[in-house]
Structures are given as structure tokens and as C-alpha cells.
Chains A and B, each alone.
Chain A
Amino acid sequence: MPAPRLSPSERGSVGHSAIVLLLAAPRSAKRNRIYRVKLGCTRHGHNVDFPLAVAQEIRTGNSIIHVSGLRKAYGSTVAVDDVSFEVKNGEIFGLIGPNGAGKTTTMECVEGLRTPDRGTVSVVGLDPWRDKYRLQERVGVQLQQAQLQKRIKVWEAVHLWASLYRKKTADGDRLVEQLGLVEKRNAWFMDLSGGQKQRLFIVLALINDPEVVFLDELTTGLDPQARRAIWELVRGIGECGKTVCLTTHLMEEAERLCDRVAIIEHGRIIDIGAPEALVQRHCPERTVVLSTDDPTAEEHLRAIPRLEAITSKDFRFTIRGSGDDFVTEVIRCLSENQIKVTDFRTVLPNLEDVFLKLTGHSIRD
């Protein structure tokens, strides 16, 4: 089953479950502030939809990150080669691909932690390497495999991070509360669980009320429950109007969170787009699974236009065809021929299938 994915306009309606992080509005973008206020509204009401203009703005907003012709090699190993993409203001953008594809290297070049060998990068109008310190004031970073001092307490870490920034920072206590770490305020870092550590790192990434948040393999190593909780938080960050750039090798995570994704393999971007657009572009086929004991069923089903394959086992049919209308055609066939079904479901292709199609192997291989 494909994961239900929320489009930007739908994200407004999950306000009852998502934790909306209320952070101070950035000084820079006035435009941001307007829809930030509106986003704040979704916190209390159920099913409050974005005003159309706001949803439009998220889709067509100006780019906040530009990457062009990025290349980075370690010795003779080329980690990233000719990578170009843009991240729009206010969107959740994902770099997806298997481990070792070059996601983290790309991200670290954008964050200013690595110097690219070639290519240009610009984040909030700054060069991440030359303007490193100015950039760090304005972005929040969560790194893959980072640690803190073993015996630093949660509140001390938050306090320390808050003291590092020139500008007024977000309310640390409030962030700790919103990320469910209140009971762990006095715990040492080494005594936190994996999920708690990740949540603390999210607090630290948000402490300077950043314009762009980078999240690298945020949920790797977490159990499914903790993972879901973190997803909610990331949606909350997105709802605050912050731009989020994340990497993941979990296709489900990308589908659930990202407005757009770039698929990376062997250091190159294979394709970029909204997850559903990528699915539509590369995997137009639809699959319907239905159960019926009508002996004439197979004959009728075989007559459906643009049918590609049909298999049956114990009165259970799996029918594959292409085109958006295919499912409708199946339903029409069933109703016209009055075929009684006891079960009916559609299987939509997802990013996992796109990846398989584009690379010829599964992301887990």
C-alpha cells in the first residue's frame, strides 16, 4: 500500500495532530511572516485549509538554496558529480537515495561544512564556505552521527546553543517542551534514548529560529513509533514556513514529508520533482486487486482497455494497466457486468517503484 502523502494544501488540515512550532518570525522576509501567521491558525482549528494564495506561494516561491554543478571527490572517489538543484522558500525538499549515494556530502557542501571541488552553492544569498559564520547564524543543522559531551545535561546543551548566536534565539524551554523532553531536562546526553537524542538535536537545530533547517538522515536507527513522532515534528517545522532540506534513504519518509525530492545515485541526480509527479512520470501503471467468485469475471476483466497483465489465484485477481483512467475502467467493467466483489483495492506505485525503475535495483540493495 502506498503511504498517504500530504500535499502542501493538505498539510494545513493536519493541524490537530501536528505540533506547530511557534517561533519568532524572521526579520528578513515580510512575505514569510504573513503566511506564518496564517499557519499558526491551523494549530487550533481542524481542517483549516490554506488560503489558495499561500499554497501557491509555497509551490512557486523564490528559491532559497541554489546548487549548480557541484562536484566533490575524496581522493579518487567521486562522491558528488555535477549536482544541481534549487530549493524553494518554504518547501520541504528531500535528497533521497541509497546509503553512499552522495546525499550527505551534498548536504554538507550546502551547509558550509565541506568545500566543493567545483560548482557554486548559495544559501539565503550567502556562499556557505566564504560566509560560513554569517550563514550559520541563519540556518539550523542536524547532522548524521553527531554527538554531544557524554555528561552534558539536556538543558545545558540548549542553553549553550542559545548562547552561540548573535541574534535573539527561539525560546529554548518552549522547544524542549514541544519536543517532549521536559522530563529529560536534567538527564545526561549519554543516558538519552536514540529518539530523545534526535529530538534534542532538532531542538538545537531550531534554537536560532533558522530560515533553513537541514536534517540529515533524521530517523535512521529509530523504531517506527519514534520515527512517526519525528515526522510529525518535521511537518510542524514546515508549517512554520521554514524551508526544510532533508536527506533520507526511506522512501516512505520522503513521500510523507517532502514537497519535492531529488533522487541521487552514485553522486548524480537522476530526477527531481514532487513525489507524485515522479511516480506519474515514471510509473504510470495502476494495479487493482479484487476478489470475486463470479466465474465470468476473468473474461470481462480481460476486455478492459489498456490492460497490461492479469493474474488470478483462488478467486483473487491482480490486474495491472496503465493510465489514470484505468481504475475507473475496472470499476465500470465491474458495475456494467454486475460482478460482485468481496474485496477491492488499488495499489498505487510509489517512490520505491520509481527508484527501482530508474536505477534498476531496489533502494535497499
Chain B
Amino acid sequence: MLRGLWTLTWIEIKVFLREPLGAVGMIIVPVLVFIGLGRIAGRRADSPSLAASSFLRVSVPVLASILITLSAVLSLVTIISIYREGGILRRLRATPLRPQTILTAHVLVKLLLTAVTLLLMVLAGKRYYPIGIHVPVFGFSIALLISTWSVLSIGFLIASIVPTARFSQPIGAILLYPMVALSGLFVTLESLPPKLRIVARMLPLTYAVSLLEGILKGDAWSAHLRDIAALTVVFVVCTALSAKVFRWE
């Protein structure tokens, strides 16, 4: 079923790292920005108030994770549409390769690169965010993996149908960034107007943020089964849909 997956994944990683801005844009820039922010915030937070501490300890890592995930999704969408426009998908189509395999390979590439970026951030954070001693790194990584996987599947779906590379970035951004605004990261769900709250509850990112924040605060996994279920549903639906509507050219 997924014949060729590992070879394709491995080659796509290498191809991505050979891009002039591939590794720099995806890994190094976010880490540098994070370190920069950490220095500024860290200096101000010498004697942090409780609210500021919570913001630094929970919201900043979650926001950083979400933004990295979204950039991975946009990058996935762009790559797939470039492949489509360039006729690479056309050529791959004339083999027994299945669309799911192509998408899965690209998702694996993105997951891996996201993981590397976050790892570097955690290492950098250890230096600049002395508050985060109690961060449950392992639990948070798992939560992030689940969230990223689910959000990337939305990327699948966009990538499957977006016609050209020129449209892919804006369409992806228009669909994804409002989700961040409504995700409960900046404004809690309870303080949203009722109608927007309903919309927010429909968006997968809300559940991702809830899961990530909860785990980071030290909640038990059992308290977030609803989030995990929601993210799983999103993944299954988007994957199934994208396999159906996948456009090779």
C-alpha cells in the first residue's frame, strides 16, 4: 500500500535540505527568532508577575509550536502544488505510487523537520527561559506530534485541490491563520461571543491549542481525550477526502 514510502521520504528530506533556503528558512530562522524573543522577554521577566510567568511558560511555547506547524503546512501545500505544476506528480502518477504515499512522505518530512526545529528551541529555551524547569518535554512532544499530524492533514486537503503554486500560499494562509486567532490562544473561548465560540469549536486548531496548553500546564492525558478525539477525526476525514480529490495535474 505504501510501497516506496521510506525511499521517497528520505529523498524528499535530502531534496529539501538542498534548497537554497530550505534548512535556513525552516529550522534556523525560527530558532533565532525564538532566542531573540527569549532574550528580550527574559530580561523583562526577571521578577515576573504571575500572569507574565504563565504567558511565558505556557503561551509562548504553544504559540511557537503552532506557528511552526502552520509554516510546515504552508510549505507542504506549496511543495505539492509546485510538484503538480512542474509535472513531477504527472510523472509519479505513471507508476504504481499512490497519492497517499506521496502525501504521507511529505508529512513525515515536515514532522521530522518540525521536530528538529522544536528540539533546537527546547535546547535554546533551557538557556533563555529558566522558568520552564517543570516542562513535561516528553508529554508535550507527544501532544505536539498528534496536533501537527492532524493540522498537516488539513494541509493535505488544501494541497490536493489548490490549482497552482501561486495560490497555494495565500489560500493556505487565509484558511489557517484565522484558526490561530480563534484557537483560544489569545482570547479564551469563554470570552468569545457565542457565535464565534461555535465557530471556534469547529476548528481543529482550538483542540490542538487546548491539548498543548493542558499538557504543558501538567494536566493528565485523561482530561484531554476530547481534544485527541477531535484531532483524530480531523486527521481521518481530511486524509480520506484528500485521497479522493487528489489532483495529479
Chain A interface residues (CB < 8 Å from chain B): 111, 113, 133, 136-137, 141, 143, 145-152, 156, 159-161, 163-166, 188, 201, 204
Contacts and interface: CB of A to CB of B under 8 A. Distances in A.
Interface string B14-31: 110011000000000000
A160 B8 contact: yes
A151 B15 contact: yes
Given A147-B86, A147-B88, A156-B11, A165 B18 contact: no
Contacts of B12: 149
B87 A146 contact: yes
B91 A160 contact: no
A302 B6 CA distance: 76
A151 B20 CA distance: 10
Contacts of B18: 151, 188
B95 A136 contact: yes
A160 B94 contact: no
A143 B249 CA distance: 13
Given A136-B94, A149-B83, A163-B8, 6 more contacts: A133-B98, A143-B90, A147-B88, A148-B91, A151-B18, A159-B11
B7 interface: yes
B93 A113 contact: yes
Contacts of A166: 3, 96
Name B's interface SS.
helix
Contacts of B93: 113
B4 interface: yes
Given A149-B15, A151-B19, A159 B91 contact: no
A111 B14 contact: no
Interface in B188-211: none
B88 A143 contact: no
B171 interface: no
* Most chain B CB atoms below 10 A, which of A149, A161, A165: A149
A145 B8 contact: no
Contact of A161 (B6, B86, B95): B95
Contact of B96 (A148, A149, A156, A165): A165
Contacts of B91: 143, 146-148, 201, 204
A357 B112 CA distance: 62
A305 to B, nearest CB: 55
Given A136-B95, A166-B96, A160 B87 contact: no
Given A156-B11, A159-B7, A160-B4, A143 B96 contact: no
A109 to B, nearest CB: 13
11 contacts: A113-B90, A133-B98, A143-B87, A143-B91, A143-B94, A147-B86, A147-B91, A151-B15, A151-B18, A164-B3, A164-B4
A133 B96 CA distance: 5
B10 to A, nearest CB: 9
B96 A136 contact: yes
B147 to A, nearest CB: 28
- Listed from nearest, the 3 A-B pairs whose CB atoms lie closest are A141-B94, A146-B91, A163-B7
B97 interface: yes
Interface in B32-51: none
A136 B96 CA distance: 5
Nearest to A111: B94
* Most chain B CB atoms below 10 A, which of A111, A145, A156, A163: A163
A146 to B, nearest CB: 4
A137 B11 contact: no
A271 B94 CA distance: 29
Nearest to A205: B94
A141 B87 CA distance: 14
A55 B103 CA distance: 47
Contacts of B94: 111, 113, 136, 141, 143
B101 to A, nearest CB: 9
A164 B96 contact: yes
